[in-house]
Structure 1
């Protein structure tokens, strides 16, 4: 790694290992959960995570996707392990969770509670482990290629000085049909160098934020499917000292899902959701453009048809060929969407999600 990258890593390690003791120490609302779309099963799993793990958790969204039973999941920048432990319950004993983090203090907390959660969930043996390593060098940490159904990350990619390396290695460790499901902070512009060098704002997941358009560019270069926007939440920066550094830049927390697809894509067709996914009996909101209601036929383009057919969602849908009457052979749906425009749409329609709070008391 370059000296610059090492300097950033050292700064982040110090911030999350020594400066921050609990979520109450955060100076902005960026690294706090402001997620409203949380199912009862997920709420229950998160509620069973040990208090010490939870109060040392710093994330900007919810990164627990649907249908994870029996899955192998890798959490990049797993920190104290909150998401890993919740997921360990949800995947069950047939699934497995690996948390990857570079901060010794956070890893110590996470490893301390492996046995606690194994016993609490009634498992015969642990189905979660924590590995030390850099998210830009996943393979060097001993993580195998083509081994995971999902890779998740909660407000961590923005902390990396080399985001392309993170996404590239995430792609390599996913199985074909695997998903990168992650929440991160995004900006409405490319930030100036003065903002990039602000250590507190970098540590708080703000000044390392990508301009949202860059994610689509990186995904295409690496080979991922086009990012699909799942949720967006405002991240207000209110302190004057930070506003002076950031200028008029605006920030949001966005959850995206990207898939590793086979080279040969499926044809456009009609799909019918069976309603069997836990907590999604009546409908499955896959992204902001696609909601599948149980038993209702939905026309999908070739890309989404491929996503559903080659992923863990395959058994949840009935796939039917196009017909003249179904009119499902539409052109490819462009999933590129400005999250700030979408947020304005939610606001104008009275559906604006609650902004992230900045203390453990309200998260």
Structure 2
């Protein structure tokens, strides 16, 4: 990754802190839709969101809904939690026995999150809070006391793009995740390396465009820090209505993407065929008929589907293992797996409601 993305780290952090702490007083102050929430939201998330205080919602800046299923009892870490919208949604979904940690560097944002803690716990019916908020940097989670292998799931919503050192961020994520843990985050990506003049502009950077990751650099970085394979759960275009900002970014196109990656053994840098197949059991709450692992893997209840070795490893090595039946192992290799990427998510066969 270009060295320009690692220079003047303190200045970039200070600029972002001021933009989100002082410049923006609510999501209506945003100048683009890059940091505006998009994406499909499940019924569980909708129900939890209905219990969140309006002040928290009004000061939310996100570009997706990076809240995966099967969270009951989990320890979840939210990087760049802001006023705590996603922390409190997840707080409801992990239950009173779960735990949610929100990390942010902006004191004005965290003060809102902390102010509503007792009220949100009361709304959820919890006797003891299951959330904590820590002020610090997502590049240095160790200084906040977050230990190796202590987190089941890491989420983040349109924040990693703001970091001046993304390699440190993803290295820290890999460090704190438990074996079998999941990274599930939404962020803004670019179709080319963003020019330095755009990267340096404090408004464009604060609007989540200047630090947007070039998709190929992101792929290389994930492999470098230990995520040999990752999946896009969704991809949607980012439109820019502000003419001044549009003229500055030039021909760069941006997308909002939700990414899923697992810290599991056996992942390879290509899809390989070991003759394995899986069938979804239909027992993930909110997903009775089918489950989408990513944007080209839909598994319908009771239907066997041939999968590559990486997909089988992601399922069998994570918390999703009890939701699937799995056939085959890696004792025999049949060459490159040719079917990945060919699925149509709206097709699951007769008798399966997948629309």
TM-score by length of 1: 0.87
User: Which residue of the partner structure matches residue 308 of structure 1?
Assistant: 315
**Equivalent residues of 2:236, 2:256 under 8 A apart:** yes
Aligned partners of 1:46, 1:189: CA distance in 2, in Å?
35
Q: Shift of residue 336 of structure 1?
A: 9.2
Aligned in 2, Cα 1:318/1:197: closer, same or farther, shift over 3 Å?
same
1:29 and 2:36 aligned: no
User: Which residue of the partner structure matches residue 177 of structure 2?
Assistant: 174
1:238-277 to structure 2, matched below 5 A, reads 238-262=241-265, 268-277=275-284
Aligned partners of 1:31, 1:154: CA distance in 2, in Å?
9
Aligned partners of 1:119, 1:29: CA distance in 2, in Å?
33
**Equivalent residues of 2:7, 2:164 under 8 A apart:** no
User: Which residue of the partner structure matches residue 91 of structure 1?
Assistant: 94
**Equivalent residues of 2:279, 2:302 under 8 A apart:** yes
TM-score by length of 2: 0.89
The Cα offsets for residues 278-327 of structure 1, whole Å up to 9 and x where unpaired, read as: 1100000111121010011111111111111111101111122279xxx9
Aligned in 2, Cα 1:57/1:335: closer, same or farther, shift over 3 Å?
farther
Report which structure shows greater RCO (CA 8 Å, sep ≥6).
Answer: 1
What secondary structure, in the 3-state scheme, does the structure 1 residue paired with 2:319 have? Answer: coil
User: Which residue of the partner structure matches residue 222 of structure 1?
Assistant: 225
Q: Shift of residue 240 of structure 1?
A: 1.8
1:82 and 2:89 aligned: no
Aligned partners of 1:330, 1:65: CA distance in 2, in Å?
32
The Cα offsets for residues 206-225 of structure 1, whole Å up to 9 and x where unpaired, read as: 11101111111011001113
Aligned in 2, Cα 1:186/1:113: closer, same or farther, shift over 3 Å?
same
Aligned partners of 2:333, 2:280: CA distance in 1, in Å?
16
Aligned residue pairs, count: 333
The Cα offsets for residues 257-288 of structure 1, whole Å up to 9 and x where unpaired, read as: 01111258895522111111111000001111
User: Which residue of the partner structure matches residue 19 of structure 1?
Assistant: 23
What secondary structure, in the 3-state scheme, does the structure 2 residue paired with 1:313 have? Answer: helix
**Equivalent residues of 1:301, 1:328 under 8 A apart:** no
Aligned partners of 1:87, 1:322: CA distance in 2, in Å?
34
Aligned partners of 1:69, 1:322: CA distance in 2, in Å?
29
The Cα offsets for residues 34-70 of structure 1, whole Å up to 9 and x where unpaired, read as: 21x2111111111111111110110000010121111
Aligned partners of 1:330, 1:288: CA distance in 2, in Å?
24
Aligned partners of 2:148, 2:141: CA distance in 1, in Å?
9
Aligned in 2, Cα 1:153/1:275: closer, same or farther, shift over 3 Å?
same
User: Which residue of the partner structure matches residue 154 of structure 1?
Assistant: 157
**Equivalent residues of 2:238, 2:255 under 8 A apart:** yes
How much is the aligned-residue C-alpha RMSD, in angstroms?
2.3
User: Which residue of the partner structure matches residue 72 of structure 1?
Assistant: 75
**Equivalent residues of 2:103, 2:136 under 8 A apart:** yes
1:162-241 to structure 2, matched below 5 A, reads 162-241=165-244
**Equivalent residues of 1:269, 1:329 under 8 A apart:** no
What secondary structure, in the 3-state scheme, does the structure 2 residue paired with 1:168 have? Answer: helix
Which 5+ residue runs of structure 1 have no aligned equivalent? Answer: 343-363
